[in-house]
Amino acid sequence: MLIRAKQNSAIKKTPHDEWDYAGVNYMGLSEQMVDGKKTKLLTHPDRNGIVYTLNRENGDLVNAFKIDDTVNWVKKVDLKTGLPVRDPEYSTHMDHEAKGICPSAMGYHNQGIESYDPNKKLFFMGINHICMDWEPFMLPYRAGQFFVGATLNMYPGPKGTLGQVKAMNSVTGEFEWEVKEKFAVWGGTMATAGDLVFYGTLDGYIKALNSKTGEELWKF
């Protein structure tokens, strides 16, 4: 999958994808200071566990960092080339069960939509903190049939819960706060000018957090 800004500018997120990290995620627009200059940005938290921030006018990669420090298939992203530096321990190949891959094929981030606070310069995002074991097998393609070609075992990530909500600075790669949730935070968030962040949980609650601190103020 590519993030393309111009005809000659593209970031290759997971080349030769071995984990089904099809990065079809949200892209958020903002204007922030980069190297002392107000810059129009595009921020893309990807299913592969990496957040990419680009100059949306010229396609330059401003930063690429892990959504969570438990992302392990990649050691880092080379900011000059935009390419991931992989950790071979978590590579997948035939007749081998790779264990403890983070994130799972569901992604640490998937379909949820982030909200952005232009005053705090923060994105608020829900996280699916799920890891996996992955074993490929040969599977001929048959039209209309389920087609994966791997056996997956998914489970909570190293922090012991299935979900998180985070406040993120997309330029510096720093997280202001993190709140753990029992289940994956599959949906989006909504930030307000009154310093609140709202989101829903899979066990049936709507919650409101203090957007400055992450403190839970209300749930229903």
Q: Render pLDDT for 96-145 as a digit per residue (tens, 0 to 9).
A: 999 999 999 999 998 889 999 999 999 999 999 999 999 998 888 889 98
In a domain, 68, yes or no: yes
pLDDT, residue 12, reads 86
CATH number of the CATH domain containing 36: 2.40.128.630
Terminal alpha carbon distance of the chain? 39
- Asked whether residue 7 carries a pLDDT value surpassing 80, the answer given is no
pLDDT, residue 146, reads 80
pLDDT, residue 53, reads 97
In a domain, 2, yes or no: no
**Mean pLDDT across 191-219:** 97
Report the alpha-carbon distance of residue 56 to residue 83 in Å, rounded: 18
In a domain, 171, yes or no: yes
**Mean pLDDT across 43-50:** 95
Do residues 214 and 178 make contact, with C-beta atoms less than 8 angstroms apart?
Answer: yes
Report the alpha-carbon distance of residue 27 to residue 83 in Å, rounded: 19
* DSSP classification of residue 211: T
Where residue 8 falls among pLDDT bands split at 50, 70, 90? very low
pLDDT tens string 140-177: 888 998 878 889 999 999 999 999 999 999 999 999 99
**Mean pLDDT across 71-97:** 94
Report the alpha-carbon distance of residue 10 to residue 136 in Å, rounded: 29
Which residue in the block uniquely carries the two structure tokens 């190293």? Answer: 158
pLDDT, residue 30, reads 97
Do residues 35 and 84 make contact, with C-beta atoms less than 8 angstroms apart?
Answer: no
Catalytic residue among 20, 46, 68, 117: 20
In the predicted model, what is the mean pLDDT of the chain?
93
pLDDT, residue 10, reads 65
117 is catalytic: no
**Mean pLDDT across 77-85:** 95
pLDDT, residue 1, reads 52
In a domain, 149, yes or no: yes
In a domain, 1, yes or no: no
For the chain, the domain total comes to 1
SS3 letters across 75-133:
EEECCCCCCEEECHHHCCCCCCCEEEECCCCCCCCCCCCCEEECCCCEEEEEEECEEEE
pLDDT, residue 207, reads 98
- Other beta carbons less than 10 A from residue 171's beta carbon: 18
Percent of the chain with pLDDT over 70: 95
At position 162, the amino acid (one-letter code) is L
Report the alpha-carbon distance of residue 217 to residue 140 in Å, rounded: 52
Q: Which residue range forms the structural domain that includes residue 145?
A: 7-89+98-219
